[in-house]
Each structure stands twice: as structure tokens, then as C-alpha cells.
Amino acid sequence: MIRRQLYQTLFELNASPMIANRLQAFAQSNMSRHLIPSFAKVYGIDVDEAEQSIETYPSLHAFFTRHLKEGARPIDSQENSIVSPCDGKLSVVQDITDDSRFEVKGQTYTLAELLGSQQEARRYAGGTVCVLYLSPRDYHRVHVPLAGRVLSHYELGDRSAPVNEIGLTETVRPLSRNYRRITRFDSAAGTYEHIMVGALNVNTIAWTLEGEQAEKGEEVGYFSFGSTVVLCFEKDTVQIDREKIGPVRLGEVIGTLQSS
């Protein structure tokens, strides 16, 4: 029970910045490696999928950001498919209004506040937004749902409120205020936004893509502690399967390109 509470403070709750920073420093220390077996047990992590045996990870953080064995997450290869960019819970698939708004857990967001640009927000009026939440048990490296070329890449926000089922229902508006990395891709679906939203009091998003081109399912970054991926597509370009709302895994089909 004590260890579960520690993990919840590390990865799920909104601890004070000082406490969170100390706990995260501990998670990155060599001492924390002793907690890896219990962490995996508490969250039901399939350790056989990890690239290395759990005894070889030097810290809890290293295990949390682990790579998986080759083939553990096959990427669907159909030309018209859109795949999940991560393990997690597809919690929102919603049409974007004509004035570029959408709703998450009872809170209305505008794309202008999410993207930091009213001009770019207009591009997605009438389009589709997807929100995927990663829990502590998930593989925390993030990939792309479609092959594409990076058009722009920038950072916004300085808060780090929790972006979980609790945080999304509170008034802190984490999707538009938290630290986030926004990448605009040109793809077979036209232009789309790939947004990684950080959480838990520190800026914990690493970008790993080298160059400007990413193939479908290619890794582009990872979360150290949390959080959420938001995808925004233009109008009449994709059809996301709403029956996929719920747990999904990287590479799994969540939608298709619309025929022109």
C-alpha cells in the first residue's frame, strides 16, 4: 500500500513542485532501481515485452521510459490506415466545431489556445480531435499515426497539472495550459497536429525524431512522467473509429483516411 501511494504521487497526483521534483529525482537515481519489480507488479506491466530484463535498468525512470522488444507493437501497414501513436486510453474522438472548439470531460477548449495560434486553429474547423491518455502502466514512448513531414515544431505552456481522469475534470484546463510540444505534419491526410502534453510539475517531454520525415509508427519522443497525446485532423480527411474509444496499443488501427 505504501509503495502504491508513492507511485501515485510520482506519476498520477498533483504533488507540490518541491515534493514532485524530489520524488522524480529519486526515480532517476540508482537507488530507485530496487522498486522496479514492485512498480511493475502494482501496475500489471508485462515485463516480458521490455527490451531488457528488469534487473538491468539503472533506475525506475529508465524502466518507465523503456523501449520494447522488436515486434512487440506491430504497426498496421495498410496504406489508408491511421494507427494509435501510443499505448493508452483513447478517451475522446470529437468533431471540431466551425469556430474550432471541442470538449473534454465537460471542459470546452479552443484550438487557438491549444495551438497558440488563431490562424492555424481555423485550419481544423469541422475536423476531428483525438485525445489519448497514458497511464503509468503504459509504454511511454510516442510515435506518429501517419507518415509525414514536419512542417513546424514548437513548445507552449509552463504548467504541469495532472492530465488524468481527475485532472481533466478539474478547472486547471491542463490541455491548454500545461507544457506541451506541438508538431505540425504534412501527410496523406493533409496537415495534422501531433501534440504531446506534459504533466506533474516538470517539463518531462523528450523529442527523439531526427530529421523532418517520420514513417507511420515511427517514434518521435517520450514522456518521462505522464501524460497525454492530442491529434487534430482537418475536415473531411480522416474517419476515426469511435468504437475504438477505450484501451488501445501503439500500431493498432484507430481510423482510416477518407477518400477524396
Tens of pLDDT along 46-99? 999 999 999 999 998 899 899 999 999 999 999 999 999 999 999 888 899 888
For 161-189, what is the mean pLDDT? 65
Residue of 87, 100, 187, 224 marked catalytic: 87
Pick the more confident residue, 179 or 55: 55
| Domain assignment present for 190 | yes
Residue 171 reports pLDDT greater than 60: no
With respect to residue 49, please indicate whether it lies within any of the assigned structural domains: yes
Where does the pLDDT of residue 242 fall: very low under 50, low under 70, confident under 90, or very high at 90 and above?
Answer: very high
Does any domain span residue 248? yes
Q: Which of 32, 176, 187, 227 is catalytic?
A: 227
Which pLDDT band holds residue 20 (cuts at 50, 70, 90)? Answer: low
Is 226 domain-assigned? yes
- If asked whether residues 32 and 127 sit together in one domain, one would say no
Residue 75 lies in a domain: no
Q: Both 60 and 85 in a single domain?
A: no
Q: Which of the residue ranges 152-156, 162-166, 253-257 would you say has the lowest mean pLDDT?
A: 162-166
Active site residue 153: no
- Domain shared by 44 and 173, yes or no: no
With a CB cutoff of 8 Å and minimum separation 6, the contacts of 101 are 108, 109, 110, 111
Contact 114, 131 (CB under 8 A): no
Structural domain span for residue 210: 81-257
218 and 95 in a single domain? The answer is: yes
Give domain status of residue 70, yes or no. Answer: no
Q: What is the mean pLDDT of residues 136-144?
A: 93
Q: Assess whether pLDDT exceeds 50 at residue 169.
A: no
**Same domain as 214, residue 93:** yes
Q: pLDDT tens across 191-229, in order?
A: 999 999 876 544 478 899 999 999 999 999 998 766 789
CA dihedral 123, 96, 234, 252 (to 10 degrees): 150
Do 113 and 152 fall into the same domain? yes
Q: What mean pLDDT comes out for the span 238-245?
A: 95
Higher pLDDT, residue 103 or 117: 117
The fraction of the chain above a pLDDT of 90, given in percent, is 55
- Domain boundary (22, 38, 64) is at 64
User: Of 140, 143, 160, 187, which is the active-site residue?
Assistant: 143
Question: 217 with 242, same domain?
Answer: yes
Which of 111, 193, 195, 207 is closest to 148 using CA atoms? 193
Tell me the CA distances in angstroms from 167 to 17, 62, 110, 131, one per residue in order. 16, 25, 18, 14
The predicted pLDDT at position 175 comes to: 58
For residue 174, what pLDDT is reported? Answer: 53
Residue 45 shares a structural domain with residue 88: no
69 is a domain residue? no
Residues 105 and 57 occupy one common structural domain: no
Residue 74: count of CB within 10 angstroms of its CB: 12
Spatial contact of 118 and 112, defined as CB atoms under 8 Å apart: yes
175: buried, middle or exposed (CB in 10 Å: 19+, 13-18, 0-12)? buried
pLDDT averaged over every residue in the chain: 84
Looking at the fold, whether 87 and 48 belong to one and the same domain comes out as no
Cα separation, 188 vs 79, whole angstroms: 9
Position 115 in a domain = yes
Domains: count for the chain: 2
Integer Cα distance of 156 and 177 in angstroms: 8
- Classified as helix, coil or strand, 230 is strand
- Residues 142, 206, single domain; the answer is yes
Q: Is 160 designated active site?
A: no
Same domain, 58 and 95: no
pLDDT at 26 over 60: yes
76 is catalytic: no
The model's pTM: 0.86
